[in-house]
Amino acid sequence: MRRESTTCCIAGGGPAGMMLGFLLARAGVEVTVLEKHADFLRDFRGDTIHPSTMQVMHELGLLEDFLKLPHVREDDLVARFGAEDITVADFSHLPVKAPFIAFMPQWDFLDFLADHGREYPEFRLLMQTKAAGLIEENGRVAGVKAEGPDGPLEIQADLVVAADGRRSDVRAAAGFTVTELGAPMDVLWFRFSRRPDEPAQAFGQVAAGRFFIRLNRGDYWQCAFVIPKGSLEQLQAAGLDAFKAGLLALAPELADRTGELASWDDIKLLSVAVDRLERWWRPGLICIGDAAHAMSPIGGVGINLAIQDAVATANLLARPLREKTLADADLAAVQKRREWPAKVTQAAQIAIQNRVITPLLAAEKPIAPPWPLRLLQRFSLLRRLPARMVGMGVRPEHVGPELRPRR
User: The domain spanning residue 304 has which CATH number?
Assistant: 3.50.50.60
Residue at 328 is within a domain: yes
CB proximity list for 266: less than 8 A, separation 6 or greater: 190, 260
Same domain for 66 and 194, yes or no, is no
Average pLDDT over residues 358-376: 76
214 phi, psi to nearest 5 deg: -125, 130
277 and 267 in one domain?
no
Residue 264: the pLDDT is 95
Q: Judge if 172 and 285 occupy the same domain.
A: yes
Structural domain of 263: 185-228+230-271
95 inside domain: yes
Mean pLDDT of 369-377: 76
Q: What is the DSSP letter of 97?
A: S
Region 249-256: mean pLDDT is 86
Average pLDDT, integer, range 134-163: 96
The reply to whether 40 and 115 lie within a common domain is yes
User: What's the whole-model pTM score?
Assistant: 0.92
Do residues 39 and 172 both lie within one domain?
Answer: yes
In a domain, 379, yes or no: yes
Q: Which pLDDT value is given to residue 319?
A: 97
Q: b/e string for 232-262 if b means 16 or more Cβ within 10 A?
A: beebeeeebeebbebbeebbeebeebbeebe
Spatial CB neighbours of 85, under 8 Å, sequence gap ≥ 6: 78, 79, 203
| 234 and 333, same domain (yes or no) | no
Percent of the chain with pLDDT over 90: 60
Residue 53 located in a structural domain: no
Are 236 and 350 contained in the same domain? no
Separation CA 233–CA 194 (nearest Å): 29
Q: Is residue 90 part of a domain?
A: yes
The verdict on residue 389 lying in a domain is yes
Sign of the four-CA dihedral 229, 231, 236, 240: negative
Task: Tell me the average pLDDT across 192-213.
Answer: 80
Residue 171 has pLDDT above 80, yes or no: yes
If asked whether residues 189 and 335 sit together in one domain, one would say no
pLDDT tens track for 3-42: 999 999 999 999 999 999 999 999 999 999 999 988 876 6
- Specify whether 11 is located in the same domain as 125: yes
Cβ atoms of residues 145 and 272 within 8 Å: no
Tell me, yes or no, whether 291 lies in a domain: yes
- Is 193 a residue whose pLDDT tops 80? yes
Q: Are 247 and 220 in the same domain?
A: yes
Note whether 171 and 203 are same-domain residues.
no
Calculate the average pLDDT of the chain: 90
- Is 372 within the bounds of a domain? yes
Among the residue ranges 104-118, 119-133, 195-209, the one predicted with the least confidence is 195-209
How is residue 396 annotated by DSSP? -
How many domains does the chain contain in total?
3
